Amino acid sequence: MVGYPWRDFMNNGYQEFREPIIKMGVRILRPKECQMLQRVIMKPHHKTMFQALLFTGMRYIEMQRFQNYPSWFNGEFLHLPHLLAERKVKRTQPERWVRLNNQGRMAIEYFIQLKQKLPAYQGWNINMKRWARDAGISPEGMSCKTTRKTYESWLMFYYPQQMAIITQSQGHNTLTSLQHYLNMPFNETDRLEIKNYVDGWI
């Protein structure tokens, strides 16, 4: 383990020691770690931002732009038009409709009511690492990409038969998802807890 002397964590009878999941330098949270992280986010607007980022799986820059155009949420889906697309040379899907479950829709409803703007991504990276340390988990790999990669990994793990819908909603091609989001070291305990976050997405 690198960077922080974390130990086994115990919460409501749950105790397990596992290495942090790091993929391409980005931390992917287990559901228990996500719960622990949210408990230490003290400012309500920060918690709302975190939940909106998590349940949409959107890129940080996309969420920043959406905050300026709340009409892109129609109450059911979140439509990201062409002008919102992140400037990537290999971008293959210039616009998309982000699929949400009930928790995701509620998170977005709260998010669009915020008066505070998302901070610069450097500031959010600092927040993520600080919250991890406060929660007693390793801050290694924690960044503004963590929520997006976490949620897509959960969706791919829980709904493997829905890969095409997941990749379209997330703005990835199937090859990218196969390379980055499959075969994560989640176990059956994780599966039961992931259900609480992704249930109703399909």
Task: Note the pLDDT tens digit of each residue in 84-118.
Answer: 445 554 444 468 999 999 999 999 999 999 999 99
Q: Contact, 127 vs 120, CB < 8 A?
A: no
Task: Establish how many alpha carbons lie within 13 A of residue 68's alpha carbon, considering only the half-sphere containing its beta carbon.
Answer: 6
Please give the pLDDT value at position 95: 84
Q: Does residue 27 sit in helix, strand or coil?
A: strand
pLDDT score of 3 more than 90:
no
**Would you tell me how many other CB atoms lie within 10 Å of the CB of residue 125?**
18
**Confidence at 1, pLDDT banded by 50, 70, 90:** very low
Confidence of residue 180 (pLDDT cuts 50, 70, 90): low
Contacts of 2 (CB under 8 A, 6+ apart): 140
Per residue in 41-84, pLDDT (tens digit) is 999 999 999 999 999 999 999 999 999 999 999 999 999 987 54
Residue ranges of domains in the chain:
23-198
The span from the CA of 187 to the CA of 30, in Å, is 10
Mean pLDDT of the chain: 86
The answer regarding whether domain 23-198 maps to CATH 3.30.70 reads no
